[in-house]
Amino acid sequence: MNVLLLACLCLLTLSVTTTDGGPAVIKVEQDSDVILPCSLSNKQDITAAVFDWKKVAQRGQRQKEVFFYNAGVHYNNGKDGQSEQFRGRVSHFGDQLKHGNASIIITNTKMADSGHYTCAFPLLQTPQTFYMELVVGAAPKPSVTSLDFTKDWSLLQCEAHGNPQPAVEWQDSDGNTLPAEEPTFSERGGSFYVTLNITVTKTDRYRCVATQKTINHQIHAETSVYISGSRSEQDSGSFTGWIGIVVAVLVTLLVVGVILAVLVRKGCITSKSKFQSTSRVVFNRLLISSSCVRVL
């Protein structure tokens, strides 16, 4: 069961970091589930103990009751007092209490859940309190649209939003960052919106990437663009055309050279006529020579 709990921690939490002397920082995406860890180092059985989870007051708000446990009685089986924000979304690991584990799961996390939390054991012989910070970020997949296009270019728009504010960039299919217009920013409903436009002139698959460094989260959306009049395609077509012309000329010269060589060898063309400038002499000789007729 300990192994299972560890696996749950890895799957449900996006990342956990610590700072020297400071609380652990747990970072998750909005609408995901998260485990807030709290365990006694001596693995003391806390089935009959008391532990209390609270969200520390911030920005003028009151302290909030997250989860309270007292010898089997808690908010999910009849005890009153839990803050409305967490009602129906918090549970504990009942089978882990005997190992000193007072961790809780918060489901369907919201940005309002971000903040500092405490997990306290007030009635132990040596009371203990654990501290941690939860950072919830909203980072849905960016929206990519084509605003306008011609045979030579296409104007693409990417809109991403989240909290913390995401950094947005355009990339080509090779992952190269592309120059784009200046982004525009706005804030609505507690979320930061970023819009970034780019004009592309080459057929390719383009990617809009939104990155939230503070929660180590990155997500992207892709779109394919076909530019019928792109320079690369025109150059390719022109190059192919020139190759065809050169090959045709070389084949023609080779055929003429072979014919002339055969005619000279058969005596249809003498060294004197070889230097005459008109084709009439050649055809006259061809007509009056039976050997030339056989050759042709």
As a whole number of angstroms, the distance between CA 68 and CA 54 comes to 8
Asked if 258 and 250 count as a contact pair (C-beta separation under 8 A), the reply is no
Spatial neighbors of 240 by CB under 8 A, at least 6 apart, are none
Q: What is the pLDDT of residues 84-102, one digit of tens each?
A: 999 999 999 999 999 999 9
As a whole number of angstroms, the distance between CA 122 and CA 53 comes to 11
Closest CA to 225 of 198, 245, 251, 252: 198
Closest CA to 55 of 10, 96, 90: 90
Cis, bond preceding 127 (omega within 30 deg of 0): no
Q: What is the pLDDT of residue 140?
A: 84
For 246, the enclosing helix (H) or strand (E) is: helix 231-265
Q: What is the pLDDT of residue 270?
A: 59
Q: What is the pLDDT of residue 105?
A: 98
Backbone angles phi, psi at 253, to 5 degrees: -65, -40
Residues in the chain: 296
Residue type present at position 49: A
Q: What is the pLDDT of residues 106-165, one digit of tens each?
A: 999 998 999 999 999 999 999 999 999 999 987 789 999 999 999 999 999 999 998 889
Q: Where are the alpha helices (DSSP H) in 61-166?
A: none
pTM: 0.59
Six-digit token string for 140? 């849905």
Dihedral of alpha carbons 222, 224, 227, 231, sign? positive
Spatial neighbors of 238 by CB under 8 A, at least 6 apart, are none
Q: What is the pLDDT of residue 274?
A: 46
Closest CA to 199 of 158, 140, 139, 252: 158
Parts of the chain with a pLDDT under 50: 1-14, 17-20, 233-234, 272-278, 281-283, 285-291, 293-296
Other CB atoms closer than 10 Å to residue 275's CB: what's the count? 7
Spatial neighbors of 212 by CB under 8 A, at least 6 apart, are 137, 139, 162, 164, 165, 166, 167, 218
Q: Long-range CB contacts (< 8 A, 24+ apart) of 178-181?
A: 178/206
As a whole number of angstroms, the distance between CA 154 and CA 143 comes to 16
